[in-house]
Each structure stands twice: as C-alpha cells, then as structure tokens.
Amino acid sequence: MLKDMKTTRPSGFRRALLAGSAALVIGSSALGLGAYSLLKPTATASGPIAAVPLTVMTSNDTPSNTTSLTQSLYTIESGASAATFTIDEVLRGSPKTVIGTTDQVSGEIAFDVYDPTAAQVGTILIDARTLVTDDSSRNRVLDNEILSTDQYEYISFTPMAVNGLPDAVTVGQPFTFQVTGDLTIRDATQSTTFAVTATPAADGSLTGSATSTIQYSDWGISIPSVPFVASVGNAVTLQLDFNANAIA
C-alpha cells in the first residue's frame, strides 16, 4: 500500500507539472506574439497623398444635380490642412484627452461664390499611416492593432449629399452646411454626416473645417488592453481643417 502511494504521487505530480509547463509555454508564446504585434515597426506611407478627381456635374449632365458653369475646382492642400481625431481615456487613474493628427489629407471641392447652392465635395482621403499622437507606443498600437494600417492605408469619406447650402455668400464671411456620405475605416463603411464651416477668401482660396462625432465600435473597431490605461471612451470626434486653392 505504501509502495503504491509512493509510485502514484510522483506520477500525478509529473502530469500536473507537465500540464502546467505546457500552459506556460502556450501562454508565453501568445504573449510574445501579442507583444510583437504591438511593438513591430509601423507601415510607412506608400507615397505622397493624391486627390481623387472630382467629376463636376453641370446643368447639361443631370437636371437633378445641376452645377454652375462658372464653378472653380479647388484642391485641399496636403501639408497645409489637417485631419484630427480626439478621444478620451483614463491613463494611470487620471482622465486624458488623446489627439491624433496628420497633414496627409486630400480632396477636391467645386464651388462658385456666386452660386453656392451648386457646390460639390469630392472624396476625402486621409493617410492613416501618418497619424500620430503624443506617444510613440500609442502610435504603434494605433497603427498595428487598431487601424491595421499595413493592410488599410487610407481612411476615406465619399460624400453622397450636400445639404443646407446658402443661396448667397460673402467673401471673407463664413457659411455653414452639412455633408453626408460613406466613411470607410479599415474594411467597414458607415454613413456619417459632417458639419462644415467654410470661408471664401479674397485671394480665391477656400478655408474651413468639418466635424463629426462617431462611435468607433460601429466600424467594428476595438481597443486592445494596454498597461496603465483603465478605459477608453467609445466616442471619437473627427475634424478636418482644410485650406483649398483653385486649380489653375
């Protein structure tokens, strides 16, 4: 009986030890893969960002979407414009507002100061690989885990409707309207409305901003757990500050 106990206990102990070791190896491997994913180098921009050409509709094209023949085509100036996101988190027990930004944004606008109701907005592109915050580790998480920029370089907004345009505008004075369209982040697309304020300048340029608040979970995006961050809000404020010049 005593002999049997002596031979059985070590066998059970060895089995438990082997099982624990296997779990430790598997857990360590998973942790290593996660750490590599978070710390691996981020993807770089494939090249200078270019605008998607806007096909300007005229009164001879579609009666339901007429456009003044005297419209100017404006291009959003990359480097002189900025796309920004703002989100709240709790970092080390204290609330923090995180801001990410890039000047790699492009788009075209058709606009006539004498016929503002006919304005059109083309596809807006943002190079997600160039978005940066105030922390390099957060940038790696943003690129590699949240936005997967190695697979999805661009965030795009394709306008479907422009509403609330005024009948008349004054040079040097801001006016407001709304643009509704398809916002694509990674491989998900949702309808989103931006509130826009624009100001035509005496030098022929067009400046302004567009803002919208979205819930990132609507795009299937999740925030991975990282040390020292207790929680991250679901609401994200998106803003585009643009400087557009007429194409010669």
pLDDT tens for each residue of 19-59: 444 443 333 333 444 455 566 788 999 999 999 999 886 65
Which helix (DSSP H) or strand (DSSP E) does residue 176 occupy? Answer: strand 175-185
pLDDT at 24: 37
pLDDT average, residue stretch 4-11: 48
pLDDT at 31: 40
Contacts of 220 (CB under 8 A, 6+ apart): 186, 188
- What is residue 143's DSSP assignment? I
- CATH value of 45-246 in 2.40.128.110, 3.40.190.10, 3.90.550.10, 1.10.10.10: 2.40.128.110
pLDDT at 58: 60
User: What are the structural domain ranges in the chain?
Assistant: 1-39, 45-246
pLDDT average, residue stretch 234-248: 94
Q: What is d(CA 111, CA 116) in angstroms, rounded to the nearest whole number?
A: 6
Which helix (DSSP H) or strand (DSSP E) does residue 139 occupy? Answer: helix 136-141
Contacts of 63 (CB under 8 A, 6+ apart): none
Sign of CA dihedral 215, 217, 223, 225: positive
- What is residue 142's DSSP assignment? I
At 155, the amino acid letter reads I
181 token code pair: 């369209």
Contacts of 190 (CB under 8 A, 6+ apart): 182, 183, 214, 218, 219
Considering only 25-34, 62-71, 84-93, 193-202, which range has the smallest mean pLDDT? 25-34
Average pLDDT value for the chain = 84
pLDDT tens for each residue of 36-45: 556 678 899 9
183 token code pair: 């916002």
Are 36 and 144 within 8 A, CB to CB?
no
